[in-house]
Amino acid sequence: MEHITAPELAAWIAAPDRATPLLLDVREPWEFDTCHLDAAHSMPMNSIPGRFTELDEEQAVVCICHHGARSMQVAAFLERQGFTKVINLSGGIHAWATQVDTTMPTY
């Protein structure tokens, strides 16, 4: 499994010559409502086993949670299902809020 830092992800998203990854936010709805990346797709962790077939196996998927533990579990699950372009956001949305967008609410 690959890991990416918040600044690395910000650079990737901003790069005009790179396809934007699917930003898969696996936190609970209340967490997503508190703060999230604009382009993030909300799919709570407990719904992944029943919904992962909605995802495109050919697209890069960056899994996001609060600090990176739940997203790492989801990334490992997706890899076991045959996904090959799965990346975990190290430090989660909290890292994004502290390292990239300091105006983002934290919890």
* Full-model pTM: 0.97
- Convert the pLDDT of each residue in 37-53 to its tens digit: 999 999 999 999 999 99
Cα–Cα distance for residue pair 16/23, rounded to 1 Å: 17
Q: Record the tokens describing residue 94, joined without a space.
A: 């909290």
Of these residues, 65, 75, 86, 97, which one is catalytic?
65
| Architecture category of domain 2-99 in CATH | 3-Layer(aba) Sandwich (3.40)
- Convert the pLDDT of each residue in 51-80 to its tens digit: 999 999 999 999 999 999 999 999 999 999
Domain residue spans of the chain: 2-99
How many helices (H) and strands (E) in the chain?
A: 5, 5
**Is 65 in the active site?**
yes
pLDDT classification of 12: cutoffs 50, 70, 90: very high
One-letter amino acid at 79 equals: E
